[in-house]
Structure 1
């Protein structure tokens, strides 16, 4: 594939809900890795709620993030501008469920040329097993502390990515997204190649 990167940005977002058209980001975590997967920087910010928006109770239960945590924090556009600066040039963006995270960051004009979705990578290598971060980390002995907080999820996603990239070199995972019955695609990232899976997992 040639040299197309000087490293990776592994990121995770927490949001008020799943639909990037109607919901907003509440937390961004990202870790910058060099080509040897060594950490060379990290980025974290909470994001203030838009005027009149409330944080749903189930999101607070899921993430532990409260409305108070977001008061006085940068706006979503400010946060995405800072994230874009952190990503910089020629980085591959890696996320556990890339179409989800890329849908939200696209609102700040961030559309990476190359990305990797660890969920799609796992789904291709282990089609009969659950590709969720919780299940993948559990069966591989990877630590996942405080699931559904951005940097915790990023740290676990890095370990999954390192493990599965080395497991199987035949699988094409750059820019691959999976459209599956249990998680239909609602956003197709720029340059994505869609793999359709018909049976539910």
Structure 2
């Protein structure tokens, strides 16, 4: 989908099978009081061509599932998104993606459709989730013509809320992982970052339960209060 198509609001070009799959996508479930130990959550990490959420592109998608209070190792998602007209720069090379990998990746429509089918009606979790939410939302709108409506929680916000005395000076994923003795096996790789984010999330869920927060709904309400307090006491 080119810039003109995006500006004019024209629908993306999908074949009949792809459109049928889009139409069959389930609606996300609203956050409720389901206990954390019973909740299916998809932990997402995107690697992109840069940090501009208006212009840069999704290059790879990595996701793991937390279900029944544990990471489901047999339920993971990983793909490189095909880009033919991409200029290779330092932001791309840091992900370990070669021009060949990107050119030989999965068609964007197929990649995003497969991910949305993998996601189902589950809420999403990411580290610095606002960036991933914007990038994924824009990609879905441009490529599939759909809006991202799934709840999105941020582990980068959750961690200082639940562990204020353990907060590292730098609030990066690496810093928090080091704080709790977690290993990032391949930094700036979508699947590896999703995995360590999921491991960190499980630690946060344990801390949340200790503080009487045993659902994503309760965590979301606590995070909203945390944001309000930061506005008045930055």
Q: Shorter-chain-normalised TM-score: which range?
A: 0.7 to 0.9
Gaps of 5+ in 2: 1-31, 141-145
CA deviations on 1:93-124 (whole Å, 9 max, x unpaired) are 11111111111111213524322211010132
State the Cα deviation string for residues 70-107 of structure 1 (Å, max 9, x = none).
11222333311111111012x12111111111111112
User: Could you tell me which residue of structure 1 aligns to residue 176 of structure 2?
Assistant: 136
Structure with more relative contact order (C-alpha pairs < 8 Å, separation 6 or more) = 2
Q: For the aligned residues, what is the CA RMSD?
A: 2.7
Alpha-carbon distance, 1:38 to partner: 3.6
Structure 2-normalised TM-score?
0.68
Residues 128-167 of structure 1 correspond to what in structure 2 (within 5 A)? 128-129=167-168, 130-167=170-207
- 1:25: Cα distance to partner? 0.6
**Structure-2 separation of matches of 1:6 and 1:121:** 17
Tell me if structure 2 keeps the 8 A contact 1:45–1:79.
yes
Match in the other structure for 2:47 = 14
Larger Rg: 2
Residues 85/193 of structure 1: CA separation in 2 closer, same or farther (3 Å cut): farther
Moved more, 164-173 or 23-32: 164-173
Instruction: Name the structure with the higher strand share.
Output: 1
Matched residue count = 183
What CA distance in whole angstroms lies between the structure 2 residues aligned with 1:74 and 1:53? Answer: 14
Unaligned runs of 5+ in 1: 178-191
Identify, as 1 or 2, the structure richer in helix.
2
Q: TM-score, normalised by structure 1?
A: 0.79
Helix, strand or coil at the partner of 1:195? helix
